[in-house]
Structure 1
């Protein structure tokens, strides 16, 4: 396989492990172990780590070690504030521009996430959930909007997956998706945008609240308390 292919393959596999929490925030990434586990040499592995660092999933240290980037409340606040605005705008355009087959595709995806939810299949649910968000952005038919979202997506995916582990959020998320789909079907751009913006913002709030709770439980004083996620994406 070409060198570029090895680096991209390694980055994709590591990205999935980080997003799904198999590699925990703050965990050290040892080159020797990763090279063996991924079946690549250190050169493409280092290129993969640099790529993930540019996406905000890995932090590179001066001594050439790397760790999985921690989830920080203040960074999550900014991330989901920006993402909620982007996806709100995308939903407004999608309500105006989506075709009948586009809406049918969203209906099929909605049926799939409810099917996975009913069976307690978290990871398949998460994958289809991400497809729904990507589809709505795609149906906005705005390449600049999509490019802006793509820059934030890797970090957001990890937080979204973590949010689904919070009690009650899974069912809440399904209900929110049902309401968003209903607004898109009747071409209500304002409502679709407001609902999707709030849905994305709510995910960030759930993760931020969880991190705050964990900090309090461990009595950590490493970082002062920060008031985050206090402003919704819509009225």
Structure 2
């Protein structure tokens, strides 16, 4: 079959979102290392998109603290900044607490199954040492509460605060220390399914605050 002609180009929003996610993931997984310079021409060849969606994606990455741009000069991948990471952790913990509290009264049997499946997948990924799969399963677990509470403002705020924490999550979920989250998830689910919104919310916040030991201590002086 010949290549189709006159096929409309993908919507610009999809190109921008794809460029953002691929760049974000490459920074989080270390493909693009701290201090590495991002050049438009190289990114165009790699991502297969024009300069405009790339620059829009880079602007979002800068808001998330993953890159630093000096206008007219360069864009570089930022090292993990301890102060920014602590701020992001505090915001993410508070937002997940709120999502869990709001969702708890609305949970049903189908949500119990979704939580259990996500946590089982999470435990399996941790045993296999698959940090990417663990992050996806962790997202699926907490995503149940985000879906049920159906608050778009929570999602948009988490979109800005979470990427900076992905580096920490990859480190944690690649080690034995991450396995404590399986039991934490079980306690969150149990409280939520029992209708205890206060306890479930508190446990969700504590779960996100467990990243604290992985945040580097800034040098003295």
TM-score class, shorter-chain normalisation, is 0.7 to 0.9
Change (3 A) 1:164 1:139: same
SS state of the match for residue 37, structure 1?
A: helix
Change (3 A) 1:76 1:164: same
Please point out which of 117, 120, 138 is paired with 1:111. Answer: 120
Please point out which of 59, 80, 84 is paired with 1:50. Answer: 59
What residue in structure 1 maps to residue 205 of structure 2? Answer: 197
Task: Measure the CA separation in 2 of the matches of 1:149 and 1:11.
Answer: 15
Assess if the C-alpha contact under 8 Å between 1:97 and 1:141 holds in 2: no
Task: Measure the CA separation in 2 of the matches of 1:168 and 1:138.
Answer: 29
Please point out which of 147, 155, 174 is paired with 1:138. Answer: 147
Task: Measure the CA separation in 2 of the matches of 1:23 and 1:30.
Answer: 12
Please point out which of 167, 176, 180 is paired with 1:168. Answer: 176
Task: Measure the CA separation in 1 of the matches of 2:24 and 2:178.
Answer: 23
RMSD over equivalenced CA pairs, Å: 2.3
Change (3 A) 1:25 1:177: farther
What residue in structure 1 maps to residue 48 of structure 2? Answer: 39
Q: How does 1:214-229 map to 2 (within 5 A)?
A: 224=220
What residue in structure 2 maps to residue 219 of structure 1? Answer: none
Q: Which runs of 4+ in 1 moved over 6 A?
A: none
TM-score scaled to structure 2, two decimals?
A: 0.84
Task: Measure the CA separation in 2 of the matches of 1:114 and 1:187.
Answer: 25
Please point out which of 144, 169, 185 is paired with 2:193. Answer: 185
| Deviation at residue 150 of structure 1 after TM alignment | 3.1
Task: Measure the CA separation in 1 of the matches of 2:201 and 2:19.
Answer: 36
Task: Measure the CA separation in 2 of the matches of 1:142 and 1:47.
Answer: 25
Please point out which of 61, 85, 88 is paired with 1:76. Answer: 85
What residue in structure 2 maps to residue 88 of structure 1? Answer: 97
| Deviation at residue 24 of structure 1 after TM alignment | 2.1
Change (3 A) 1:49 1:145: closer
SS state of the match for residue 67, structure 1?
A: strand
| Deviation at residue 106 of structure 1 after TM alignment | 0.9
What residue in structure 2 maps to residue 27 of structure 1? Answer: 36
TM-score scaled to structure 1, two decimals?
A: 0.79
What residue in structure 1 maps to residue 108 of structure 2? Answer: 99
Deviation per CA, 1:44-99, whole angstroms, max 9, x where unpaired? Answer: 32232223223332211134311112211111112111221111122122222212
Deviation per CA, 1:5-30, whole angstroms, max 9, x where unpaired? Answer: 43332222111111222222332212
Change (3 A) 1:36 1:144: closer
Deviation per CA, 1:125-166, whole angstroms, max 9, x where unpaired? Answer: 21111121222222223343334333323223343223324x
